[in-house]
Structure formats: structure tokens, C-alpha cells
A and B are shown apart, each in its own frame.
Chain A
Amino acid sequence: MRQENFNDEVLIVSKVSAVESTTLPPQGAPASGRSWRRLRLLFIITFAGVLLSGCTLPNFGVTKGVTKSSVNVYHLWQWFSVGAVVIGLLVVLLLAYAFLRYRRKDDKAIPKQSQYHIPLEIIYTVVPIIIVVVLFIGTLIVENPEVSNPRTDVVVNVNAFQWGWKFAYPGHSVVVIGQTTQNPTMVVPVDTNVHINLTSTDVVHGFYVKEFNFSRYALPGVTNQFTFNAVKTGIYAGQCTQLCGLYHSVMFFRVKVVNQATYDQWLVANRNVSAAAAAASATALQNNTYVPSKPTNSKVN
């Protein structure tokens, strides 16, 4: 019963220029003080060198992904994992030694009642602080470019709703709408900064593409902005990660990364599809799945 609506793979491409004509401009990275910037550059070069030399380390379960940021995230993951494995092994070995060496042999024996060892306690307070600071610096180096929004001309307005996705290309009069297992596909060019304005019509959704090593909430009343730069062409699965009601489990989408020429052709080819027909089938689909009517959100668009 519940899956009967998901059988047809329908991709609706339509011209809805009136609704999608406005968009937030991408923001440039904020400027900071010059000396601080120079110092920061030094830090970044040092730590980035160390970070990126992690190529020979095991992957610890994570892939490099297909964006510029996802590779950095992968290396950060490796270094966190090195720390976790070293500390974890240290603790487990100490425990194993204690279990074997200090196992009770005699019911009546009473060991020496020592309670403090100040130098040792200072060491295992200070060393973790240093480790934490290093991890934090690594975090900042990966995080700052990842959450910055460099200027770009490729903008996609992504709108999540119960239960599907709408990808609008402002200025191109192209809109892709699809529900749940229809896998609506967002087409973007390779090696280009793609700026996303992420919104939600109803409840909180999660925009998550595994191969991007990234996710972001779609919040009602907020336009969330982020930028990614895919370096590999291909089709990548995405889905909603934040519980959003009944059909949360099947709120799928795809990101198709193509080369610039294909992208331009795709934009043109999908420009002139009848808006009316698309809107009608979109409405029909909405009525097939039970979607409660929502008050119009004046803040979003």
C-alpha cells in the first residue's frame, strides 16, 4: 500500500520563472586583519602539509569523495583516526597489563594504598590539552574553506518538502521537482563552484550526499547557503537525513555532475518545457501522496 506511489520514475522539468527569480547573492569570504592573515597562512601551510601527507594512511572507513572539500575532510578523518587509535590502544594495553599483572592471587593480600602521583596526573592532563588544540587547528583548516562561500555564477535553489526535492536554477527558468523514490536529479557542472541556497517548505530536512562528505539542514524560515566544487563527473545518491515524517525513509535525490558543455545543453534543453503541464503533474503527485497543506512561507522566497 505505502509504496504504490513510488513506482513511476518521473522527472519533471518546468519553467517556473516567476517564483524562482530571486536569489540570495553568494557571499565572499570575510576579510580579516593582515598580520593575523599572514600568521594564519603560516599555520595553514604547516598543518595543511601534514594533513595532506596523510595519503598513505589507511582510510578508516571513509572515502575521499568527489568534491574539493570532501578530500580535505577525508584527510582530517585520517588524522583524527590516528589519534583515536593511538590513545585507544594505549588505554587497552595499559588495561590488559593491569588485568594480567595485578589479578588477585590471595584473598588476604592488601596492596600499597597509594593514591596520588601529581607529576603523572599533570602529564595526562596537559598532553590531552595539546592533542585537543592540534585537532582543533586541523578542524579549522578544513572547516574554513568548506563553509566559505566564494563568488560563483552557478546557483541552485534547493527546496526540501514533505517528501521530495525541488531544484531551481535562477536566471535559467529551469526547475526540477520530484518526490521520494522518483530520485529528482540536480545537474551541476564539474570543476565549478556551485552555490546552494537551501530552504524547506515545511519541517526540518537534511540535504546529504554521501560522496560529498557533507550534509546541511534545510530549515523552514532560513536560507542556508553553502558551496561545493565537484571534481569528478558522475551520478551521486543523496537523501534526506533528518526525520521529517512518514516518508522520511524514501526521500531520495541525485546529484549528476557533468562537464560544462553538457550542463549548458541540459539547461537549454529543459528551458522550454510547458510550465503548465509540469505544474499540473506536480499537483497530481502531491495529491497522490498525502501531503497536508501548509501555510505559505513568506520569509523564504
Chain B
Amino acid sequence: MSHTITAPETSHESHDEHHGPSGLLKWLTTTDHKIIGLSYTITAVVMLVIGGALAELIRAQLVTSNGHLVSFAQYNELFTMHGSIMIYLFAGPFAFGALANIIVPIQIGAPDMAFPRLNALSYWLYLTGSITMLLGFFTAGGAANFGWVGYAPLTSSLNAPGAGADLWIGGLMLTGFSAIFTGVNLVATIFYLRAPGMTMFRMPIFTWNLLVTAILILLAFPVLTAGLIMLYADRHFGTHIFSVAGGGVPVLWQHIFWFWGHPEVYILALPFFGMATEIIAVFSKKPVFGYKGMIFATISIAALSLGVWAHHMFTTGVVLLPFFSIMSLLIAVPTGIKIFNWIGTMWRGEIWFSTAMLMAIGFLITFLIGGLTGIYLASPPLDFFTHDTYFVVAHFHSVVMALVLAGMGGLYYWGPKITGYLLNERIGKAQFWFLFIGTQVFTFPQYILGLQGMPRRMAIYPQHPEWANLNALSSLGALLIGVSTVLFVVNIIVSWKKYPAGDNPWDAQTLEWFTTSPPPHHNFYRLPQIRSERPTWDHNHPEHKAIAHGHHEE
């Protein structure tokens, strides 16, 4: 009939039994993308908790203008490792390792990733890289202390002599290779393992965004890895690539770092954009508005992101300002298209305010704030005086906290698919409000502090005791965010195997909701006909197909 039979349904049991060991050995030896994806998810959430704990310490130190909770040296380690953990060990791996690993193959009807063993290697490199970086805390000199951007020559063997810096470099290289291998795997999977009928323009937005993300990874991460090798050589082999004394150029590090670092912003963001897109469509019971425009917007964001790295370097005085300014400003256009498409998707829909949908809406609003303040920073005169102040700190925390909101939405939305069980909606909604309000209470005082002239990375601010109130308010926001994380853990414990999900609890649209929850070893016993980007919806609601081009009547 309308099904493409891939395996006789009667063979469920025997099919599963073919595969490998169980228990701990299963987790250690698996090449199944779903188990690897779960390992990624758990590891990334642990990193989120560790990074969050460091953030709470930072905020506790800043409650008063002359805080004595930690020393100057410890403070430098705290914010360096907070940033490093959150960007390198949480946000990235969570974006393209965790949910991508679990969902992308199922969304396109593939049995697994294209290179399952390489996929396992990616995870183990990520885990060992993370442990390597964290081990810095246990060395004599402490962890890395030069900021997550590690500007040369503060990273030289003279300025950062400890082993913590080397462990930071080593950890970053390992996770960098992990990212590159994941990028290779995603590109190969998406290009070669799509099910019959799944053309490129029938792929869900989440998969599209991961394809673009993977290509960005392949363009950007090797540059960072090369930079890290140069840095290591400078520190240990007597080269002078980043030191003035030997004829080197310190600012070269900033170019290399941001040539990776700005695409990295979109490597982090695009997967979460994809999550929000899927969630908003499903919980509005409508197709993604402007599906193709959305894809072209994603591609333009990625293309532009490769030409804007020096907007992080406006105040160096050694980059061409107008070029990088207009390129950065232009990114607002495709990003705006996305925001209007999200609104368009909700328009005339039937909006179901589930936890996942609330998280996606929270993402949209928080990202709007982060995006609008980002436009200021694309203008060099405005960047000059906000650069390295709390305005910038607030801007990128609005953005990354938006991503956390979308990621939590992703967990509430897709978690049931992979575990087979729903999370408690009541606790979920409480978690949302703590996270959403906490984020705004956390960032808004920082915007004001930045405009009042408070530089970032300050352990104390003895000359400005009047900043203490706003800092305390911001710390309160950080506390609320912390409570939301605790609620998430509580929810997992409370909901453990309590609410069976069924195959398609949300009346969702894309292919992953056609199979069982959790899916069988090779994901599908049968596939529906794939004639649009919503095969599951088309199968369940044959009379409600999307209205085609040019048939839109008012």
C-alpha cells in the first residue's frame, strides 16, 4: 500500500537480538547512533551543570564591589573555564553531537550514521577531550586562566606557564577533531543515506540546518586546530608565531581564532534554530512557513558568517572596518527572515503551549533581544565603547541562553522519541518560567552595567560600589537559572519511566515520529510514502496536505 516495507514486522525480536551486548558493555562498545547520541546528551548536560556551577561562583563573587570569595587568580580560572566548558564542551557537542546524532538519521529515514565507528570515535574524543580540559583544575598552576578566547601572548609559556594551559589546548584539539569527524559523518549521512523519496527539499529544517552546520564545521574547525598546533609549538618548541620578540604577530591568533570563532557562533546556533523551527511548526499544527526561504536564510547566514570574523577585532585598529561592518549588519537580514517565518508558522495555527513550545517561544524572545543588541555591535563606533564591557557579555548570554532554551525545548520534544517516555509537563513549565525569567533578570542588569562602563572579566570593581546593586540583581537571575536546572534533573527523576509516550505524542510531522519510541535498532520497520517534508503528517492527515505554491487564497 502506501508503505515501503523494509523488514517484516514479525521479526522485531530476532532483529534486536542480533545486536551486541547489553548493560555497560553496550554503552562502551556501541556504534548505534541513538546510544552514542544519548551518551553525547548526558555528557553535554553534565558539562552544562559544571559550567553553570562555575557561573554561580562568578556571580557570587560579583555580588559586592570588593568580593573576597575567590582570589584574582582563581577568578581568572573560573571565567576561563566557564566559557570554555559552555562553548567547547556543552553548546557545540550538544548542538551537533547530541540531538543531531539521535534525530538526523531518523528524520531522513537512514538506518544509522554513514560511518558508525567514526561516530563512536567522535564521542570518545569528545569525552576524553572534556576530561583533559577539566583536569587543569587539578594541576599545580590551576586551570587555564587566559579567557576562553586565549588571546596571544597571554597564552605564551612566559605568561601562562602552567600545565592547565596545555591541558586546555589538548582538550580543545581532541574535541575539535571530534567535531570535524561528526561534521564528515553528518554530511555523508545527509547526502547519501536519505530514504527513497526524501529529496533535499523534503528534508526537515532541523536536518537542513545540521547539514549547513556540518559544512561550517568542516570549514572552520581545521583552522582552530591549526592555530592550536601553532600555539603549542610556540609554548614548547621555541617557535615565535605569536610572539613579537621572535618576529611573530600576536594579532594573528585573533584572526585565526575568530575565523573559527564566528562561524562557530552559527555552528552553535543553527542546530538550535532547527529545533525551534520543528517545535513551533508541530505545536502550531502547521507546516513551517516559508520552508524554502528558511533554507536559503540558513545558507546565507552560513555564507556571511565566514566573512565577519574581524567584527570581534574592531578595537584592534588593524582591520578594515567598513567591510566587516556591512557583512555583520547583513546577517541581520536572513536572521530577521527566520524570526518572521517563525511568527508566520504560528499565524492562524492552533498553538499548543506545551513545555517544548514554551521553551521555543522563550528562545524566540531571548534570541530577539540578543539579535537586536548584536546589530549595535556590528557598527564599529558603537562597538568601540561597548567592546569588552558587560554589554557584550549580556549580548552573547542573551544569545546562548536562547540556545539553552531551544535545547531544553528539544529535549522535551524529542526526549520521548528516544526514551519512550514523556517528561512531566507541570515541572517542565515551572522549569521554563525559572529559566526564561532568570535569563532576563540575569542579562538586563548586565546591559545597563556595560553602558555604565563596567568592563568584563573583573574580579572586583572597587572604584564603582554603585554597580553592586545591578550585579546582585544579575546574580539573582543566575540563581533562578540554577533553580531551573535543578528542576530539570528533578523532572527526569520524577518522570522516570512513568508516562509512556507512544509513537507520536505531539501529532508531529516529520519522519522520526513514524517509527516506534524508542526506535528499533535500525530505526524503521516500515516507511511511509515521502512526498513532502512532512511524511508522517501526510500519512496521518491525508486530507490536510500543505497548500502548494501559488494556491494561497486570502
Residue of B nearest to A63 (CB): B451
Q: Give 1 or 0 for each of B489-520: 1 = CB within 8 Å of chain A CB.
A: 00000000000000000000000000000000
Rounded to whole angstroms, the CA-CA distance of A237 and B372 in the bound complex is: 29
Contact indicator A208/B455 (Cβ below 8 Å): yes
Q: Give 1 or 0 for each of A219-254: 1 = CB within 8 Å of chain B CB.
A: 111101110000000000101111111111110100
Contact indicator B287/A215 (Cβ below 8 Å): no
The answer to whether the Cβ of A77 comes within 8 Å of any Cβ in the partner chain is: yes
The answer to whether the Cβ of B285 comes within 8 Å of any Cβ in the partner chain is: yes
Residue of A nearest to B146 (CB): A243
Q: Which residues of chain B in 369-388 are interfacial with respect to chain A, using CB atoms and an 8 Å cutoff?
A: 369, 372-373, 375-376, 379-382, 384-385, 387-388
Contact indicator A120/B344 (Cβ below 8 Å): yes
Which of B341, B353, B384, B388 contacts A242 (CB under 8 A)? B388
- Interface range, A side: 35 or more
Contact indicator A142/B350 (Cβ below 8 Å): no
- Name the residue in A106, A203, A237 with the highest tally of chain B Cβ atoms < 10 Å from its Cβ: A203
Rounded to whole angstroms, the CA-CA distance of A26 and B159 in the bound complex is: 33
User: A69: which B residues are within 8 A, CB to CB?
Assistant: 381
Distance in Å: Cβ of A284 to nearest Cβ of chain B: 22
The answer to whether the Cβ of A91 comes within 8 Å of any Cβ in the partner chain is: yes
Known: A95-B343, A98-B343, A142-B381. A136 touches B71 (CB 8 A): no
Distance in Å: Cβ of B440 to nearest Cβ of chain A: 13
Which of A80, A98, A217 contacts B376 (CB under 8 A)? A80
Known: A206-B455, A215-B388. A76 touches B382 (CB 8 A): yes
Rounded to whole angstroms, the CA-CA distance of A91 and B382 in the bound complex is: 24
Contact indicator A181/B447 (Cβ below 8 Å): no
Which of B159, B251, B337, B462 contacts A292 (CB under 8 A)? B159
The answer to whether the Cβ of B316 comes within 8 Å of any Cβ in the partner chain is: yes
Instruction: Give the interface SS of chain A, mostly helix, strand, loop or mixed.
Output: mixed
The answer to whether the Cβ of A105 comes within 8 Å of any Cβ in the partner chain is: yes
Which of B316, B333, B448 contacts A129 (CB under 8 A)? B333
19 residue pairs A–B, Cβ–Cβ below 8 Å: A76-B379, A80-B382, A84-B372, A98-B347, A98-B351, A102-B349, A111-B285, A115-B291, A115-B546, A116-B292, A117-B289, A117-B290, A143-B381, A206-B387, A216-B315, A220-B250, A224-B316, A249-B457, A295-B245
The residues of B with any CB-CB pair to A shorter than 8 Å are 71-73, 75-76, 146-147, 151-154, 158-159, 244-245, 249-251, 284-293, 315-318, 321-322, 325-326, 329-330, 332-333, 336-337, 339-341, 343-344, 346-353, 361, 364-365, 368-369, 372-373, 375-376, 379-382, 384-385, 387-389, 447-448, 451-453, 455-463, 541, 544-547, 549, 552
The residues of A with any CB-CB pair to B shorter than 8 Å are 2, 61-62, 69-70, 72-73, 76-77, 80, 83-84, 87-88, 91-92, 94-95, 98-99, 102-106, 109-118, 120-121, 124-125, 128-129, 132, 135-136, 138-140, 142-143, 146-147, 181, 198, 202-204, 206, 208, 210, 212-217, 219-222, 224-226, 237, 239-250, 252, 292, 294-295, 297, 299
